[in-house]
Amino acid sequence: MNNRIARYIQFIKFGLVGISNTIVFYITYCLLIFLGFHYLIASLLGFLFGVLNSFYFNNKFVFKKGKLEARNPWLVLIKTLISYGLTSYVIGSILLVLFIEGLGISKYIAPFLGLMVKIPLNFILNKNWAYKSSKMEEKSD
């Protein structure tokens, strides 16, 4: 398959996983807001559930390990938490405060406004850092 097409398909798969992450995040976030949690706490817990969802599906569906690749799943999980922590939680929290406190946008709408910034950053960090694995040398028998 053409490398350009393969990257496009990978980005589409990443987008599908991202949609599921957004759903997991948003359900958790709205439920906690409804239960009286502060929006930043609700965002943190939604983020954690979304990252676990992302780690599982990106590892199995988007950035599958090749036959000659070595990948430590614990290291990938830590890198996933860091990359999503930077883009989704830190940048997302800054945007939430800006949108909710600064612009008066609803707590239920504000999380969606940051997606245009967070999605491309998440893909770049995941593809080029979190799921980047080293090639194992082929053993000659």
Whether the model pTM is above 0.75 = no
H helix or E strand, kind and range, residue 134: strand 134-135
What's the pLDDT tens digit per position in 44-63? 999 899 888 988 888 888 77
Measured distance CA(99)–CA(29) in Å, rounded: 16
Examine the pLDDT at 137 and tell me if it is beyond 50: no
What does 61-77 look like in DSSP terms, one character per residue? IISPPPTTEE--HHHHH
What's the pLDDT tens digit per position in 9-31? 888 888 888 889 889 999 999 99
7 or 110: whose pLDDT is higher? 110
- Which of 136, 6, 140, 139 is CA-nearest to residue 67? 136
Examine the pLDDT at 5 and tell me if it is beyond 80: yes
What's the pLDDT tens digit per position in 82-135? 877 777 788 888 988 999 999 999 988 888 887 777 777 777 777 777 666 655
Residue 141, CB-side half-sphere exposure with 13 Å CA sphere: 0
What pLDDT score was predicted for residue 65? 66
Q: Do 107 and 46 form a contact (C-beta atoms < 8 A)? A: no
123 or 139: whose pLDDT is higher? 123
